[in-house]
Amino acid sequence: MLTSSSRLLERIQQLIATPSVSSVSPQFDQSNRPVIDLLANWLDDLGFAVRIEPLIEQPNKANLIATLGRGPGGLVLAGHTDTVPFDADRWRFDPFGGVIADERIYGLGSTDMKSFLALAIEAAREFATRELSQPLVILATADEESSMHGAQALAAVGQPLGRHAVIGEPTELKPVRMHKGILME
C-alpha cells in the first residue's frame, strides 16, 4: 500500500515523464491529452465528476474540469498541463526522468507546474468521502506557456467555476492576491 507521500512522488514522476510541450512553433508543440487523461483517471477514481473539454482550434489539446460536490461557490485549484520547449543538452538529468537528487525532483514541469497538479489531487483525497457544502474543483488547462488557448476557451464559456481559486504557479512562496488579467469579485 502506498503512503500519501510515496503516491504523491510517484504521480509527480508520472506527470514529468509525460511530455506536454506547448509552443507557438509547430515543430515543438505537443498534445497535452496524455497528461489530461492521467489526471482524469486519478480524479475519477476519487469520485470527481470529470469533464474533458477539447479545444475547438486544436482537438489534440484539452482542458479538464473535475468537480467534487455540488452547488454554487466553492474552491478551484487550478494549474496548467503544458511545459516550455527545452534543450536536452542543457539539462543535468533527463528532462522526463523525474530524478530525485539533492532533495529535489528534477524534470520538465516539476515546478511549473506538474507537481502542483499531483499535490492538488493528493490533497483532494482527504475530501473524497466527505459531504461538501460547496464544490471543490480541480482545473487543468492547455497552452498556458504559449497561446493561452485553454484559458481563452474557458473565458469564452463565461461560467464561473467557483468563488475562490488557488493557482499553483511558483511564486517563491510569496502569496499573490491578484494579477493582471484575473477577474476578481
Q: Which residue of the set 29, 82, 112, 122 is catalytic? A: 82
> Which of these is catalytic: 29, 122, 143, 144?
144
User: pLDDT-derived band of residue 177, with 50, 70 and 90 as boundaries?
Assistant: confident
Burial (CB < 10 A; 0-12, 13-18, 19+), residue 77, is: buried
Is the C-alpha dihedral spanning 33, 35, 152, 72 positive or negative? positive
Active site residue 144: yes
pTM for this one?
A: 0.92
Q: pLDDT grade, residue 181 (50/70/90)?
A: low
Q: Is the pLDDT of residue 11 over 80?
A: yes
Catalytic residue list contains 82: yes
73: left (phi over 0), alpha (psi -120 to 50) or beta: left
Superfamily (CATH H level) for 4-167: Zn peptidases (3.40.630.10)
| Domain coordinates in residue numbering, the chain | 4-167
